[in-house]
Amino acid sequence: MISAYPIREIQSAMIGSRHESATRLIAALRLPTRRLQEPRTIFFIRTRMALKSTIYKASLQIANMDSHYYADHQLSIACHPSETLQRMMIRILVFALNAHESLEFGKGISDSDEPDLWQKDLTGLIEQWIEVGQPDERRILKACGKSSRVRVYLYASTGPIWWKQTQSKVSRAGNLQVFQIDPEVAKALEPLCQRTVQLQVTIQDGEIWVRDAADSVRVVVEQICGDSNR
């Protein structure tokens, strides 16, 4: 704490006789002092806590009679904090629709350099790149340049609107396929979601069913772009 005496009072006290000067000086020194506050600097420390993904376990039994693929898969699915359970369940569904021993989940929503799912050959070349949702057209074209085949699965009711706006921008991508999943499917699959879940997926004559121990969901998927024979 610093005290400051009123300078003008001291200066005026020094005018006149020595006695008056001394008297006025003493009186001036007795005046109330002003307190000068020292400036304060406040530091704010901002900390960021990285939110971790929640891990879900799925035991997936697939019987695809159309492609003659029959296999069981033990999946670990990382659900990013920004990802809804509906989207995560769609990812599991899309895995079943494209099931292969080399198919894996990518980092997807948490990494711009990886898709939601992808399949690579033994040399590391990308055979299939799969996106869930409505990716940017630049991301789609970039994926088409990296992979032999690119598939996009739309599942929201706004999918047709997005595709209408995006179609002309990706028309030169000959290895692109786009599918629309009935928007009601994501809502119906969400109640099946558990931290550890057992699911059965059967595909026959184009009809798709997803079942757990108590419920079943019929899945409707329509291809809206690309060669269906690829």
Please tell me the distance from the alpha carbon of residue 8 to that of residue 23, in angstroms, as a whole number.
15
Beta strands, E only, the chain: 2-4, 34-36, 54-64, 69-79, 103-105, 117-120, 126-132, 147-154, 176-181, 196-204, 207-211, 216-219, 221-225
Residue 163: which of 221, 106, 155, 150 has the closest Cα?
155
Distance CA(198)–CA(189), nearest Å, equals 13
Q: What is the largest CA-CA distance in the chain?
A: 119
- 113 to 140, 142, 145: CA distances (angstroms): 12, 10, 13
Tens digit of pLDDT per residue, the chain (230 long)? 444 445 454 444 444 444 555 455 445 555 454 444 555 554 444 545 557 889 999 999 999 999 999 999 999 999 999 999 999 999 999 999 999 999 999 987 767 789 999 999 999 999 999 999 999 999 999 999 999 999 999 999 999 999 999 999 999 999 999 999 999 999 999 999 999 999 999 999 999 999 999 999 999 999 999 987 66
Token pair in block for residue 157: 């009711």
Report the side by side order of strands in the sheet with 196-204.
69-79, 54-64, 196-204, 207-211, 216-219
Contact present, 203 and 175 (Cβ < 8 Å) = no
pLDDT digits (tens, 9 = 90+) for 33-62: 444 455 555 444 454 555 788 999 999 999
pTM of the predicted model as reported, rounded to 2 decimal places: 0.77
Residue 210 token pair: 């997803």
What is the three-class DSSP state of 97? helix
